[in-house]
Amino acid sequence: MGDKFADVWVLLSDTDRFVSRAGLMDKFEGQLRIWRSELQKSKADIQRTRDIRDDIIAFRRSRREEGWELRLGSLDIKLKGFRSDDAFSVGFQRMVLMVGENGDIRYVTGTANHYELDRELNNQLHQSPPAVPLEPHYLWFRRIEGILELAGADSQSQQSHKKLQEYIAVHKSELVRAMYKLS
């Protein structure tokens, strides 16, 4: 019973992180509190614990059907200022990211400079053109403890950086889906 009970707590914690990172806390905080309270009360009630687990699974399934990426529970994306070429020394890698208002996301990473990476990504886009125009962003990235940190490169304008910040606020779930395997 202890393992099952712990598994439900892990599932609830992951769901809580997803709701928080997705910006849905105002809408679902009450339900999360109810599940937490019920789990604390029903430690010895195996059936009630199973019922709560089923409710959490149904909740997660509904969010997936709405288009949310539940891996937001284990990965968040943060845009953190600007970096120069010394970013390599603290674990960052280069990336050119292109995003469209419809949620289309394309990117390439590598050791080449941002202009060369941009040229490579544009060659890929000629092979498989996007449905809408994509806006390029020259970035540095690194993944640390469940957070994918993005920082603008010196060649990224302040205006472009601000647009990316707005894009992340609206399309974070799509970005997590697209970039989940980056390390």
Give residue-wise pLDDT tens across range 51-78: 999 999 999 999 888 877 776 567 788 9
Give residue-wise pLDDT tens across range 124-174: 999 988 888 899 999 999 998 888 999 999 989 999 999 999 999 888 888
Q: What one-character DSSP code corresponds to residue 52?
A: H
Using CB atoms within 10 A of its CB, is residue 8 exposed (0-12), middle (13-18) or buried (19+)? buried
Q: Which fold has domain 75-179?
A: Pyruvoyl-Dependent Histidine Decarboxylase; Chain B (3.50.20)
Q: Is the pLDDT confidence value at 3 over 70?
A: no
CA distances, 51 to each of 32, 42, 63 (Å): 14, 11, 19
> pTM for the whole thing?
0.69
Q: Is the pLDDT confidence value at 1 over 60?
A: no
Query: What is the distance between the alpha carbons of residues 56 and 10, in angstroms, rounded to a whole number?
Result: 11
Q: Is the pLDDT confidence value at 2 over 70?
A: no
